[in-house]
Amino acid sequence: MQLFSPLILSTAAAVTFGVASIAGATCPEDLTGDGNVGGADLGTLLAAWGECADPDDCPEDLTGDGNVGGADLGTLLAAWGECPDEFCPPDALDEGEPCGEQLTNGCNMDTPMFGPELQCGDSVCGSAWAELQDPNDPDSGTRDTDWYPFTIEDEQTVVTWSIEAQFQAAVIIVGGDCDEPEVISSAVGEQASTTTCLQPGDYWLFVAPAFFEGLPCDAGNNEYVATVEMCEPDPDGDSLCPEPLSNCCEAHGGEGCDDPECEDIVCDIDLGCCFTWDSGCASLAEDFCGDLCEISVIEAEYQYDIGVTSNALGLTDGGVIGWAQRYDAGDGDEIVNIATTYGNAGSDAIGVQDGDPVGLAIMEDTGDGPGSVIWQDEATVDGGAIDTDTLQTFIVPTVEVEGQFYLVVWVEHEEGTFPAPMD
């Protein structure tokens, strides 16, 4: 199956068309494009005499100094006459595939084979064809596709992939892999280029006819020169390279996060997260974004506990039964869940009952006991009864802790003491 149909090309992002001279053209002095440098080209140059209004679109500026003047006139006169027949510039790489063969068809092959790996500034010369495999079947068209590996090493980078062809060509910057290739950016034309921002990784630079028939190898207009350029690192970001989004599971203070689905879920709950991704947004991501936030069981060293049977750590006066235990997480870890058991230990005292509010907090260590709350959650007792222990499990989102901290459990009951320890 041929990848990248005309439908995909017609809907790809950043499609651009151009007629400006592309690096690699062998006769830039032929301003009128008739294959000859003569009076018509001289008239075109003289009509543009002076400073270029747009230096990026000034083909008459043959010397590239932003001005059409004597130096450009001398360059044009030196090329006077018929343009050279040689289409490929002498310093360009060779595709390595004679027209009609399929040696660089990349992911369109059962065993993928590619053209030479390109570096920034490289031009490559190649040829392409497109024909019906069955003259009686209008749907049997196929075409040559050429794939060139290209790698971005360390930083997000602005890349331009350009072509000068003797036929209507498609140039595409491709990501992904052969199982799921991704059209990142594309352009179509005899002279065209596409520019995009690429993150570090491996890519392909793709060339093919923009059609599937009518270009046999003996047509005489099968050649192209394609160039990769403008390989400019852009770590700070601009309109082409926005700043990379940060982890949804961490507070970073920027706008949104790096998982669009999770970002939508969190922003639907708290619109402010679309503008400032703080610790509350990260907590929502941990609660509502499935397995996105990887978590692990904390490994902490037990040090000692303190029992509190009234006014539990200032949470509520009277009737609150609390327990705190201090741990040391060392250099930092994460909590996945905590289970606590509370019961009445065969006592006749009034104890925990079904429906009593129960909660858990992770609190900072002030040196004199628990301090500010890092995270907390509340539920109700499920299954508490006289003479039984009840296991209550709290599913804790990813909570980063470092050094010493307290785990605090509290149960609110109307009266009585709590005769059994919480574990």
Please compute the mean of the pLDDT values over residues 243-252 and round it to a whole number.
Answer: 74
Cβ–Cβ under 8 Å, residues 285 and 257: yes
Residue 364 class from Cβ within 10 Å (0-12 exposed, 13-18 middle, 19+ buried)? middle
Q: What is the pTM for the complete model shown? A: 0.46
What distances in angstroms separate CA 345 from CA 172, 341, 382, 410, 421, one per listed residue? 72, 11, 17, 18, 9
Contact 167, 222 (CB under 8 A): yes
More confident residue, 18 or 184: 184
Average pLDDT taken over every residue of the chain: 75
* Angle, helix 39-47 to helix 70-78, in steps of 10 degrees: 170
Tokens for 341, please give them.
Answer: 């058991």
295, pLDDT greater than 80:
no
Q: In 247-330, which ranges are E strands?
A: 301-308, 320-328
Helix (H, G, I), strand (E, B) or coil at 220: coil
pLDDT of 147 reads 97
| pLDDT at residue 63, as a whole number | 92
Look at 37-41, 59-63, 317-321 and tell me which has the smallest mean pLDDT.
317-321
Locate 25 and state its tokens: 């053209």
Position 293 scores a pLDDT of 76
SS3 content of the chain, % helix, strand, coil (to 5): 15, 35, 50
Torsion of CA 378, 383, 386, 390, to 10 degrees: -70
Q: Comparing 86 with 205, which gets the higher pLDDT?
A: 205
Task: Out of 121-130, 339-348, 386-395, give the one with best mean pLDDT.
Answer: 121-130
Pairing of the two strands 181-198 and 157-176: antiparallel
Do 259 and 289 meet the contact criterion of CB atoms below 8 Å apart? yes
